[in-house]
Structure 1
């Protein structure tokens, strides 16, 4: 299984790059997790849009969904051209089931919520409601005795530890340096991420949802002041292989 970082930025993309987006590939499955600004341009460096088999959307803030409507247009066009022969399911975190996004030809919006499970062939997904300004779900994938977690957007809370416990890989939002109070923004700083990684006994942590200010390389150093395990700073095109 391979996870490709399509966009590591929070709020808005760095020039030529993208906000939140991650491509998970396993055998014939090509699953897009979040679809932020610039993600479709990055995605097409790796696969054709017609190859995407499912989409999971953690929440409806623009830096996580800005390209979703364009992806739906692509599916409509590919369906009419005969390039897409099956409907693309878009699993969207939605507490109320009144989401503004509607299905188009070639796509179908499907609601996901905390406490529900999602199976895509052999891949088993579960969800955790995070602590953010809108309804937001962290995503856990368990497969072949391996565990991957994407925290999505959240401030730190001890209840996150159990959801991430003993995960082999966690992609953790790291929106602020340790000197910033992140909780009031619904995000984590490097101290929060280090604490989560340590308490949850994470195998390796990848830092994402990065700030546009300061020296981003120091984010890993600050997380490392608390967590002694492997730390990596996410970047566009980074590949994470889970064997």
Structure 2
């Protein structure tokens, strides 16, 4: 399994970059996880859009879904050009009581996903768990040939996340604030100290810091995580490749 970071920023992209987006490749298949602002432009540096097999969206906030409508247009065009023969399934996490923000179009099919559900694609199995955020949001656990990758999506710290992240080879964790932001939870996010605690308590092999802030010295985040967690720490950037 190979993961390419397409966008590491929270809220909005830095110039020429992107917010949340991750390309997951396995067994000649490819999956896009989140589709934030700027993600489609980044993705095409690595993969033609018509080669994507599925899309997973953690929640409906714009920095995770902004490019999705454009992706649906690409699917329509690729279908008309006979570059795509089957509609691509787009799985969106949303509260059961809310209407989905997107509809199926030619070339793409919109489906709901919920916490506690599982999705199997070949030898890859994805399980979804509820996170602690303003919008209905799911984290994702990817298991493939004995390896485990966990993506927190957006969340504040909560002890119940530990069991979902337990023993992950790689934890991709939102790190929206520096350690001195003690009340990060009121924004629905984690600070660096909380990410370190989650990684330590879950016993993960490596943590990748993402959903980065637009202020301060981003390099400081890793050193703050390291005060709590003694495993490998990587600060995400567009183009970062993780192989499991």
TM category (shorter chain) comes to over 0.9
Deviations 1:25-62 (A, max 9, x none): 01221100000000000000001000010000000000
Number of the residue aligned with 1:35: 35
User: 1: CA distance between counterparts of 2:194 and 2:156?
Assistant: 8
Structure 1 Cα separation of the partners of residues 49 and 115 of structure 2: 28
CA distance in 2, matches of 1:153, 1:45: 26
Alignment of 1:118-197 (within 5 A): 118-180=119-181, 181-197=183-199
Separation of aligned partners in 1, 2:99 and 2:122:
28
SS at match of 1:161: helix
2:208 is matched with 206
Which residue pairs with 1:104 in the alignment? 105
**What residue number does 2:117 align with?**
116
Paired position in structure 1 for 2:62: 62
TM-score (normalizing by structure 1):
0.99
- Aligned to 1:187, the other structure's residue is in SS state coil
Give a deviation string over 1:121-149, Cα, whole Å, max 9, x none. Answer: 11101011000001000000111111000
1:79 aligns with 2:79: yes
Partner residue, 1:236: 238
CA shift at 1:21, angstroms? 0.0
Find the aligned partners of 2:179 and 2:93 in 1 and give their Cα distance: 29
Residue ranges of structure 2 left out of the alignment (5+ in a row): none
Count the aligned residue pairs.
242
C-alpha displacement at 1:217, in angstroms?
A: 0.3
Deviations 1:161-180 (CA, angstroms, capped at 9, x unpaired) = 00000000010000000011
Give the secondary structure class of the aligned counterpart of 2:18: coil
| Superposed displacement of residue 95, structure 1 | 2.3
Structure 2 residue aligned with 1:221, among 215, 220, 223? Answer: 223
Gaps of 5+ in 1: none
Q: Secondary structure at the match of 1:221?
A: helix
3-state secondary structure, aligned to 1:70: helix
Give the equivalent residue in structure 1 for 2:12: 12
